[in-house]
Amino acid sequence: MNVGMIMGIAKSTIEVTLWASVPILGVGLIVGLIISIFQAVTQVQEVTLTFVPKIVVTLLSLMFFGPWMLNKLIQFTVNIYTNFPQWVK
């Protein structure tokens, strides 16, 4: 196993992590931006107004994108386990 292989595995790990987290973080970012604009326009500064909708939308997006995220993680894990004997040589 050389440095190039290790860097390839590390790159793949980072890519899978980013792709698995982007849907949830993106939805949370969009909802947070919408709520911030609403608060700026209406001058309503309620603390729970920012947290409760983001938590609800994050959980809903996790339910919606969860199977896709799990599939990506399973594919990556299967790829690691199937290629492991070749890397150890």
pLDDT tens profile 24-35: 999 999 999 999
Q: What total number of domains does the chain contain?
A: 1
pLDDT of residue 71: 95
Helix (H, G, I), strand (E, B) or coil at 43: coil
pLDDT of residue 42: 87
CA-derived radius of gyration, the chain: 19
Q: How confident is the model at residue 65 (pLDDT cuts 50, 70, 90)?
A: very high
Q: Is position 73 within any domain?
A: yes
Tokens of 2: 């050389």
Q: Is position 5 within any domain?
A: no
Q: Is position 83 within any domain?
A: yes
Q: Is position 82 within any domain?
A: yes
Please give the residue that has the higher pLDDT: either 50 or 55. 55
**Please, are residues 12 and 76 in contact by the beta-carbon 8 Å criterion?**
yes
pLDDT of residue 85: 86
Q: Is position 7 within any domain?
A: no
Q: Is position 87 within any domain?
A: yes
Q: Which amino acid is at 38?
A: F
Q: Is position 6 within any domain?
A: no
Instruction: Give yes or no for residue 49 having a pLDDT over 90.
Output: no
Residue numbers of the domain that contains 71: 32-89
Q: Is position 58 within any domain?
A: yes
